[in-house]
């Protein structure tokens, strides 16, 4: 499947698209109404371009049909649900048939095999096992490909490290921010050299190439970016190969579009919102689902030879994009700059506020590395100025840097909160 000709892949996609649209139209009242309103029915889907005639689906549509309104199969065929909590209102619920669980496990196994995980590996999954899809989703993938699953879940960092050491864990999956914290703690305890890790699979939140280098150097591993969302099974939607140059999106299971803020297709190579159509999901097919994630497609072929196109590392969320004094700022740009400055540690928090005369103020709290403290106040203010200037040249907007001691910004085992927007808009 990974090496088939593009034309063969497109034939398969069209077959699967027709099937998905037919099932959505016939079994999900929401889609039936949406398509009727646009005067379209499944018989009019005869090419992949016809996708653009279909309505898009938003996260709000899942909420409005809470909990099971978008299911295309009767409840007795659904063998599992997951849910993700948003910042407002009810969580969004997703469902899986037995076949969906198999498809998802296969996709995860495909990802792990791609980065060189084998049956001999001992694979620690240090994320929440619950409604979050990163727990059971990754777990089933590990079992599917035959490595040894270590379902350590979240919390108790010291114990996580003890298990890692005692079991001789070779592959780690968690969020990149938790991985950085694990590395920091292992270093502080002087056990990092005793670990046998060789591969890290990190995802569920944006991270940068600098964070990757940091993780690769401190753990002595190869670190890969993993992307997914509950609405499209969960993790396993797109994953880096050993080239580490973009994430292969599995086009035999998902149709990819990159749309601008008006909902029009972006030019090739232009960044926009990733919009996905599921091609194999049974319990909850989603048509033109607006992920809110900003990226672009790398159109050139990958050296690994896989046919699936690659997505550039995620730039941020369409709704996370900060507009500060009219300028678009992505937290990932800030992270890139901060991590390129040797004295700065791995943790930061961006605070946007609107104070005097209604002007936006961007302040960034950053942690210093222990060794960066010289004891001289003058050195600190020089560093502060250097960071502010570097950020200004990249973001085109002034920010205020607050230097903090290591450990000042709260650590979390789940997704970290990098932006606090205090503006009352
Ligand atoms: O985070 C699924 C997942 C679990 C992916 C484990 C990877 C590893 P949700 O909780 O539904 O699902 O959140 C999905 O997280 O729309 C992105 O905004 C963000 N996200 C996920 N992976 C990445 C990544 C899981 N590699 C939302 N880079 C998505 C940037 C990511 N953002």
In a mutational test of the pocket of ligand 1, which residue from 57, 139, 228 has the highest number of ligand atoms less than 8 Å from its CB? 228
In the predicted model, is pLDDT for residue 412 greater than 90?
A: no
pLDDT band for position 332 (50/70/90)?
confident
**The pLDDT value given to residue 87:** 45
- CA distances to 81, 96, 170, 182, 258 from 131, in Å: 8, 13, 26, 23, 28
Name the burial class of residue 35, with classes exposed (0-12), middle (13-18) and buried (19+) by CB atoms within 10 angstroms of its CB.
buried
- Together in a domain, 272 and 398: no
Is residue 230 very low, low, confident or very high in pLDDT (cuts 50, 70, 90)? very high
Taking the centre of ligand 1 as the mean of its atom positions, its distance from the CA of residue 129, in whole angstroms, is 15
Q: How far apart are CA 142 and CA 104, in angstroms?
A: 11
Kindly state whether residue 40 falls inside one of the protein's structural domains. no
The span from the CA of 318 to the CA of 118, in Å, is 37
331 and 230 in one domain? no
Across the range 325-351, mean pLDDT stands at 87
Nearest residue (by CA) to ligand 1, atom 13, is 229
How many angstroms is it from 373 CA to the middle of ligand 1?
Answer: 35
Least confident of 73-82, 114-123, 195-204, 332-341: 332-341
Is residue 229, in this structure, part of any structural domain at all?
yes
How far does residue 90's CA lie from ligand 1's centre (Å)?
19
- CA dist., res. 364 & res. 394, Å (int): 15
Evaluate if residue 193 carries a pLDDT over 80.
Answer: yes
Helices (H) and strands (E) in the chain, counts: 10, 21
Candidate of 130, 229, 292 to mutate for ligand 1, largest count of ligand atoms within 8 Å of Cβ: 229
**Rounded to the nearest whole angstrom, what is the distance from the C-alpha of residue 294 to the centroid of ligand 1?**
12
Q: What is the pLDDT of residue 148?
A: 98
Closest C-alpha residue for ligand 1 atom 30 = 206
CATH number for the domain that contains residue 213? 3.40.50.12780
Q: What's the N-to-C CA distance of the chain in angstroms?
A: 48
Digit-coded pLDDT (tens) for 263-315:
999 999 999 999 999 999 999 999 999 999 999 999 899 999 999 999 999 98
Q: Would you state the structure tokens that stand for residue 157, as one six-digit string?
A: 């960092």
Average pLDDT, stretch 54-60?
93
Q: Which CATH number is 375's domain given? A: 3.30.300.30
pLDDT at 374: 86
Query: Which of 319, 352, 375 is the C-terminal boundary of a domain?
Result: 319
Residues 380-389 pLDDT 10s: 999 999 999 9
Question: Would you state the structure tokens that stand for residue 100, as one six-digit string?
Answer: 């969906």
Residues found in the chain: 425
User: Is residue 419 predicted with pLDDT exceeding 80?
Assistant: yes
Which ligand 1 atom is at minimum distance from the Cα of 138? 6
Range of the domain at 413: 327-421
pTM of the model: 0.85
Instruction: List for the chain the helix, strand, coil content (%; round to 5).
Output: 35, 25, 40
Calculate how far, in angstroms, residue 359's C-alpha sits from the geometric centre of ligand 1.
32
Query: Which residue of 104, 227, 311 sits with most ligand 1 atoms within 8 Å of its CB, as the best mutation to test the pocket?
Result: 227
Whether residue 384 is contained in a domain is answered as yes
Q: Are residues 303 and 412 in the same domain?
A: no
Same domain, 291 and 376: no
Q: Can you spell out the DSSP letters for 9-65?
A: HHHHHHHHHHHHHHHHHHH-HHHHHHHHHTT--GGG--SGGGGGGSPPB-HHHHHHT
Q: In angstroms, what is the span from residue 237 Cα to ligand 1's centroid?
A: 10
Calculate the alpha carbon distances from 75 to 4, 84, 92, 97, 279 in Å. 35, 19, 17, 9, 20
255 and 217, same domain (yes or no): yes
Out of 39-43, 407-411, 414-418, which region has the weakest mean confidence (pLDDT)?
414-418
Q: What is the pLDDT of residues 84-127, one digit of tens each?
A: 865 456 788 999 999 999 999 999 999 999 999 999 999 999 99
Structurally, how many domains does the chain consist of? 2
Q: How far apart are CA 42 and CA 12, in angstroms?
A: 17
What is the structure's pLDDT at 84? 84
Q: Are residues 252 and 380 in the same domain?
A: no
Phi-psi region of 204 (alpha: psi -120 to 50; beta: other; left: phi over 0): left
Which residue CA neighbors atom 14 of ligand 1 most closely?
229
Residue 133 and residue 184 in one domain: yes
Which residue among 204, 240, 271, 316 has the greatest number of ligand 1 atoms within 8 angstroms of its CB, and so is best to mutate? 204
Phi first, then psi, for residue 198 (nearest 5°) are -130, -20
In the reported structure, the alpha carbon of residue 188 is separated from the centroid of ligand 1 by a whole-number distance in angstroms of 29
Residue 304 domain-assigned (yes or no): yes
The residues that bridge with 134 in the sheet, in sequence order, are none
Distance 158 CA to ligand 1 centre (A): 25
Residues 141 and 198 occupy one common structural domain: yes
Q: Looking at the domain assignment, is residue 359 inside a domain?
A: yes
pLDDT (tens digit per residue) in 196-225: 999 999 999 888 898 899 999 999 999 999
Q: Which residues line ligand 1 (CB under 6 A)?
A: 84, 132-134, 203-206, 225-230, 234-235, 291, 293, 314, 317
Distance 363 CA to ligand 1 centre (A): 26
Other Cβ atoms within 10 Å of 163 Cβ, number: 16
User: Quick one: pLDDT band at residue 357, thresholds 50, 70, 90?
Assistant: low
Q: What whole-number distance in Å separates Cα of residue 421 and Cα of residue 425?
A: 10
Do 331 and 409 belong together in one domain?
yes
**Which of 319, 343, 372 corresponds to the end of one domain?**
319
170 and 289 together in one domain = yes
Whether residue 117 is contained in a domain is answered as yes
Confidence category of residue 420, pLDDT binned at 50, 70, 90: confident
Residue that finishes a domain, picked among 285, 319, 353 = 319
The answer to whether residue 74 is domain-embedded is no
Ligand 1 atom having least distance to the Cα of 92 = 11
**Alpha carbon distances (Å) from 77 to 101, 164, 308, 368:** 12, 38, 31, 53
HSE-up of residue 181 (Cα within 13 Å, Cβ side): 24
Return d(Cα 123, Cα 152) in angstroms, integer: 10
Residues 115, 179, single domain; the answer is yes
Decide if pLDDT at 325 tops 90: no
209-219 and 176-188 helices, crossing angle to 10°: 40
Q: Whose CA is nearest to atom 18 of ligand 1?
A: 293
283 and 354 fall within a common domain: no
Is the residue at 394 inside a domain? yes
């Amino acid at each position: 499947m990974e090496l088939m000709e593009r034309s063969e892949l497109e034939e398969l996609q069209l077959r699967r698209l027709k099937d998905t649209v037919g099932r959505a139209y016939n079994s999900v009242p929401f889609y039936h109404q949406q398509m009727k309103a646009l005067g379209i029915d499944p018989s009019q889907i005869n090419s992949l371009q016809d996708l653009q005639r279909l309505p898009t689906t938003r996260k709000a549509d899942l909420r409005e049909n809470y909990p099971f309104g978008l299911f295309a199969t009767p409840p007795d065929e659904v063998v599992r649900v997951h849910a993700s909590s948003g910042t407002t209102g009810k969580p969004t619920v997703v469902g899986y048939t037995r076949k969906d669980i198999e498809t998802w496990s296969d996709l995860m196994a495909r990802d792990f095999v791609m980065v060189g995980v084998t049956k001999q590996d001992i694979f620690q999954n240090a994320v929440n096992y619950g409604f979050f899809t990163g727990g059971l989703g990754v777990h089933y993938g590990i079992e599917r490909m035959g490595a040894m699953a270590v379902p350590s879940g979240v919390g108790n960092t010291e114990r996580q490290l003890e298990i890692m050491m005692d079991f001789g864990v070779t592959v780690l999956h968690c969020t990149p921010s938790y991985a950085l914290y694990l590395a920091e703690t292992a270093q502080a305890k002087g056990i990092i050299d005793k670990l046998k890790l060789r591969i890290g699979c990190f995802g569920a939140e944006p991270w940068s190439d600098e964070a990757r280098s940091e993780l690769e150097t401190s753990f002595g591993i190869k670190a890969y970016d993993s992307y997914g969302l509950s609405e499209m099974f969960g993790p396993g939607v797109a994953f880096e190969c050993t080239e580490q140059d973009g994430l292969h999106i599995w086009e035999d299971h998902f149709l990819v579009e990159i749309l601008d803020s008006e909902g029009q297709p972006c030019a090739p190579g232009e960044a926009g919102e990733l919009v996905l159509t599921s091609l194999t999901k049974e319990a909850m097919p989603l048509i033109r689902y607006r992920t809110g994630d900003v990226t672009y497609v790398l159109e050139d072929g990958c050296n690994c030879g896989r046919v699936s196109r690659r997505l550039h590392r995620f730039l941020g969320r369409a709704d996370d994009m900060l507009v500060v004094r009219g300028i678009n700022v992505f937290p990932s740009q800030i992270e890139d700059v901060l991590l390129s400055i040797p004295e700065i540690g791995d943790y930061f928090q961006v605070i946007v506020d609107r104070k005097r005369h209604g002007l936006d103020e961007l302040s960034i709290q950053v942690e210093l590395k222990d060794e960066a403290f010289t004891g001289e106040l003058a050195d600190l203010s020089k560093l502060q100025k250097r960071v502010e200037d570097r950020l200004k040249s990249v973001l085109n907007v002034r920010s205020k840097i607050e230097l903090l001691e290591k450990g000042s910004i709260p650590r979390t085992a789940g997704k970290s909160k990098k932006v606090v927007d205090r503006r009352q808009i």
